[in-house]
Structure 1
Amino acid sequence: MADTLKLDAFLPYRLSIASNRVSNAIATTYQALFGLRIPEWRLVAVLAEGGAMTQQALGARTHMDKVTVSRAAIALGDRGLVTRAPNPADQRSHLLTLSEAGWQLYREIAPKALELERQIFEAFSAEELGRLRQMLERLEAAAAAVEPARG
C-alpha cells in the first residue's frame, strides 16, 4: 500500500528529529556554558549580524513567533545583554541592540558555535555540505510555497 504512512520513512518527521537532535546538542552547550536558551542565542546572533532591530523584524528574521521573541528579548534585557531604544520610524516599537556585554558574550559564543557545527558535520565532505545547503534552500522555499499565509 503506497498510501500507508510509515513515520520513520516520512521525511518531514525525519527532518524534525534531525533538527531536534542538533538543536538539543547545541542548546545543552549554550545553556551550560553561557546560560542561554536557543531563542536567546538566535537573537544575539541576529543582532550581531544585522544591528538594531525591532522585535517584529527579529521574529521575521529568525522565524520565531512573537511570544518566543518577546520572552527571549526580555531575558536578554534582564541580563543587560541588549538595550532598548525608541524606534524613530515607528513610535509603537523599540529597537533592540546588543550592549557591550552582549557583544562580549557574542564574541565568546561565536567560536563555540562554529566548533559545534564542525563537530556535527565533520563526517561530511565539503561537496556534501554544499549539496545539503542547496537542498535546504530548496526545501525551505518549497515549504514556504505550501505554508498557509500568516494573518
Structure 2
Amino acid sequence: MTAPAPGTGQGFDLQDFLPYLLNQAAEAASKGFQASYKASYGMTRTQWRVLAHLGKFGALTARDICARTHVEKTKVSRAVAALEDQGWLIRSPSPQDRRAEILTLTDRGRAVFADLGQQAIGYDQALRAQLGPKTADQLDNLLRRIIALQPPDAGTD
C-alpha cells in the first residue's frame, strides 16, 4: 500500500499546503533580490515595491499601490515618505480626490528604478537558470494560472 499524496492524508500538514509553499517560495525569491536593493540604495522591501510600481505604471496614488502590491496602507505611507526624503518621488494633489495624492518618480527616482530594473533582470535570469529553462517556463505558466484563479475583487484581510 502506498502513502497518500501530500495534502490528502488524515490530518492537515502546513508544509503540504499549496498556499504555504507558494508563500515560502515567494519569500525566498524576494529575500534573494532584497540584498541587491538594500546594498545599492538602503531600501526596504516596501520601498522597492512602491518604486517599482511607480517606475512601471507611472503616476499612482498610495491607494493604487496598496491594491496592486497587497501591502497595508501604513507600510506604503512610510515607504512613500522615505522615498520622498531621498528625492526619488514627489507628491501632488489629486484633481479628482482632495484626500489623495498623486505619486510620481523624480528624475533621480527614475534613474534608481532603471538601475534596480537592470539588477532585477539579472536576478531573474540567474534564478531561471538555476531552475533550468523548461522548469522556469512551466513554473511561470503555473503561477500565472494560479493568479488568474483569484477573483478580481478579492480583497485582503
Displacement, 1:127? 4.0
SS at match of 2:131: coil
Identity %: 30
In structure 2, the CA distance between the partners of 1:92 and 1:38, relative to structure 1 (3 Å rule), is same
The residue number in structure 1 matching 2:68 is 61
The residue number in structure 1 matching 2:4 is none
User: Could you tell which deviates more after superposition, 118-127 or 41-50?
Assistant: 118-127
The residue number in structure 2 matching 1:42 is 49
Displacement, 1:2? 1.9
Q: Deviations over 1:115-141 (max 9, x none)?
A: 011111213344433332221122123
The residue number in structure 1 matching 2:37 is 30
Verify: 1:70 aligned to 2:77, yes or no.
yes
Give the TM-score of the pair, scaled to structure 2. 0.84
Matched length: 149
In structure 2, the CA distance between the partners of 1:13 and 1:150, relative to structure 1 (3 Å rule), is closer
Question: Where in structure 1 are there 5+ consecutive unaligned residues?
Answer: none
Contact 2:50 2:79 in 1 (8 A): yes
The residue number in structure 2 matching 1:137 is 144
User: Could you tell which deviates more after superposition, 63-72 or 1-10?
Assistant: 1-10
Amino acid at match of 1:134: N
Equivalent of residue 23 in structure 2, options 16, 21, 32: 16
Amino acid at match of 1:117: D
Verify: 1:124 aligned to 2:124, yes or no.
no
C-alpha separation between the residues in 1 aligned to 2:154 and 2:91? 32
In structure 2, the CA distance between the partners of 1:67 and 1:112, relative to structure 1 (3 Å rule), is same
Equivalent of residue 118 in structure 2, options 95, 104, 111: 111
RMSD of aligned alpha carbons: 2.1
Contact 2:70 2:156 in 1 (8 A): no
Q: Deviations over 1:10-61 (max 9, x none)?
A: 2222222211111111112211122111211111111111111110011112
In structure 2, the CA distance between the partners of 1:150 and 1:113, relative to structure 1 (3 Å rule), is closer
C-alpha separation between the residues in 2 aligned to 1:41 and 1:148? 24
Verify: 1:93 aligned to 2:100, yes or no.
yes
Amino acid at match of 2:90: T
SS at match of 2:104: strand
C-alpha separation between the residues in 2 aligned to 1:7 and 1:28? 28
- Larger Rg belongs to: 2
